[in-house]
Amino acid sequence: MAEVIDGKSVAEDVVRSVKALTAELVVKGKAKPGLAVVIVGEDPASQVYVASKSRTAKECGFHSLQHTLPAETSEAALLKLIAELNADPAINGILVQLPLPAHVDAGKIIQAIAPQKDVDGFHFINVGKLGTGELDTAFVPCTPAGSMLLIERVRGKDLSGLNAVVVGRSNIVGKPMASLLLAANCTVTIAHSRTKDLPELARTADILVAAVGRPEMIRGDWVKPGATVIDVGINRIPAPEKGEGKSRLVGDVAYAEAAKAAGAITPVPGGVGPMTIAMLMANTLASAYLAAGLKRPSF
């Protein structure tokens, strides 16, 4: 059976490091990192995510702000708040929780965030920096950044000579994941719903990243023996065996099958998921270090 990659443990390591480096920053007489989280409306899932992000920021010793706005907040009012946060020297990271209400243009809001405070890594400036290999100053989206850290824990930082297949081409995970793997000297293929002979292509991968949002799509016989499998998917499916109306979480990989072939694999839950908030904290800390004229820390 494959090594189980414990994302929860790695995420806890990252948060511990962020906490220690934050204390170090304060000892040097610099301002503590500041994270502002903006949520519009009352989507229950968003409320849970935002509460978790704010709680972790406080645990890290950050200056943590939360702006909870009513669903009817206008686009103009939201842009005004973003401009105020951009100008606030106590704030290093700005995160606008998605989705936004239908009357607000999410793209316009994201691009209004100052690139150096865009700790979600969605601004076109950060997308461009990542795509051109300017990783020293780029902010990378948190899920692929966390996935990359898990890969490095298994394979090391230099992935020269390895083939990677990323299944999924989203701007949030698939494309940035491919850029990170390319920067680590992988030979990278991005696959998607229109890819011909996807199982055959997947079997060429030393590193296989699944980010398609389809429950258990990647089967065990798609996995090259000894491959590192990173399952970014999180899907809720019916679980009648647990009782009527019950459900369970699964990834995009058929875990039990894939674990028989893989060398290492992330579980769902407990794999990539915990890394996302940890890397948000790491990005916010990096922004504070860069704002203070210091070299950003690596994890």
Q: Which residues are annotated as a binding site for NADP(+)?
A: 168-170, 234
Would you state the structure tokens that stand for residue 19, as one six-digit string? 């906490």
Give the separation between CA 4 and CA 14, rounded to whole angstroms: 18
Active-site residue, 97 included: yes
The strand pairing partners of 93, in sequence order, are: 35
Catalytic residue among 28, 43, 47, 53: 53
CA distance 259 to 243: 27
Both tokens of 152, joined, read: 């490095």
Concerning whether 196 is annotated as a catalytic residue, the answer is: no
Pick out the residues of the known binding site: 168-170, 234
Strands 264-265 and 228-231: parallel
Residue 90: strand, helix, or coil: coil
Distance CA 64, CA 225 (A): 45
Query: Number of H helices and number of E strands within the chain?
Result: 10, 11
Task: Please indicate whether residue 53 is annotated as part of the active site.
Answer: yes
Measured CA to CA, the distance from residue 122 to residue 141 in angstroms comes to 7
User: Among the options 13, 58, 80, 120, which is catalytic?
Assistant: 120
Contact 46, 97 (CB under 8 A): yes
Q: Are 109 and 100 contacting, i.e. CB atoms less than 8 angstroms apart?
A: yes
- Which are the catalytic amino acids? 53, 97, 120
